Amino acid sequence: MSLAQTENLNGAAFDRMPSPAEIAARVPLTDAARQSVLNGRQTLQAILDRQDPRIFVVVGPCSIHDPVAGLDYARRLKVLADEVSDTLVLVMRVYFEKPRTSTGWKGYINDPYMNDSFRIDEGMEKARQFLLDVNNLGLPAGTEALDPIAPQYYGDLISWTAIGARTSESQTHREMASGLSTPVGFKNGTDGSLDAAVNGILSASHTHSFLGINDEGQSSIIRTRGNGYGHVVLRGGGGRPNYDTVSVALTEKALAKAKLPTNIVVDCSHANSWKNPDYQPLVMRDVAHQIREGNRSIVGLMIESNLEAGNQSIPANLAELRYGCSVTDACVDWGTTEEMIRGTREILRETLAQRSKA
């Protein structure tokens, strides 16, 4: 009787992936980018520690698919960031990985050419290069950590990290978050519940040991110190938004009960805007007024924004893609983004200036 195969029954191929060290050698960290990352992280930590009264705003495309348009956006955002820096700290949203409900394009790392060639090896290098270019502008970058191995490849270029609504409950992602070098925002569940996010923050604040890879790509036992800068991201869910004053108060209560800092970020998109980008400005204005009226737990905001409004399907002929328009969730356009950021600055400038004097 022949021996039956018992593993890799559904594995079609095992293509070699360059190690994190190899990718970093091809796209090395510059002094300018290093300083941008350090400044970004230190500023965000100071905001979370209440040492900096400003509000941070993670703003940018739902996902990066065109690095040319992405850098066009980044250059504009850097100018705007400098303009409003007395009140707001802008962090560019740079998302390369997209969790899918069933199927669909999984993001720039997974399929950089958007043709189902799945050149993850090239996508990872291109993603690192894009992050380097953004940081070289002096603009900090934020991303969602989806694949637990990916941060080893570009984590030195990230200033803020999100754990998504679908993964806040995942032990793997909580362990990973405990070792990340950035502040980490845990989103509430897709049903709107806070438990996964609060428990995620608690878990990530402790030490963990788990399987991963080192810079050389070798399987390793990763032992972490714990991340003390976890916070909640309210993104709505369960058929309703959760940025209103009652929802924010309930979040404060849940964090206090868990003996965690009452640090809250409000995502103006997703269920908070009923997945309609036109409502994002209304959400942002509402939250800004909460802060002006005395709320001190809201430390940040998130906006899905691109050069052009809306979104588009990925065409068979990629030459037909509209420049600067999302291929995932719909976004507000650049003009609306400027209005939102400048308007929020005007609402909050005097209030936050008074806090800095206190």
Residue 321 is given by DSSP the state: P
Q: What pLDDT is stored for residue 101 in this prediction? A: 64
The closest of 94, 100, 99, 102 to 128, measured between CA atoms, is 94
What structural domains does the chain harbor? 20-357 (3.20.20.70)
User: In this model, does residue 335 exceed pLDDT 90?
Assistant: yes
Interatomic CA distance for residues 333 and 303, integer angstroms: 11
User: In this model, does residue 96 exceed pLDDT 90?
Assistant: yes
The region, left, alpha or beta by phi > 0 then psi within -120 to 50, assigned to residue 310 is left
User: In this model, does residue 102 exceed pLDDT 90?
Assistant: no
Q: What pLDDT is stored for residue 3 in this prediction? A: 73
User: In this model, does residue 355 exceed pLDDT 90?
Assistant: yes
pLDDT tens-digit series, residues 291-333: 999 999 999 999 999 999 999 999 999 999 999 999 999 999 9
pLDDT band at 100 (very low <50, low <70, confident <90, very high): low
Show the tokens assigned to 115. Answer: 């043709």
User: In this model, does residue 99 exceed pLDDT 90?
Assistant: no
Q: Is the pTM of this model over 0.85?
A: yes
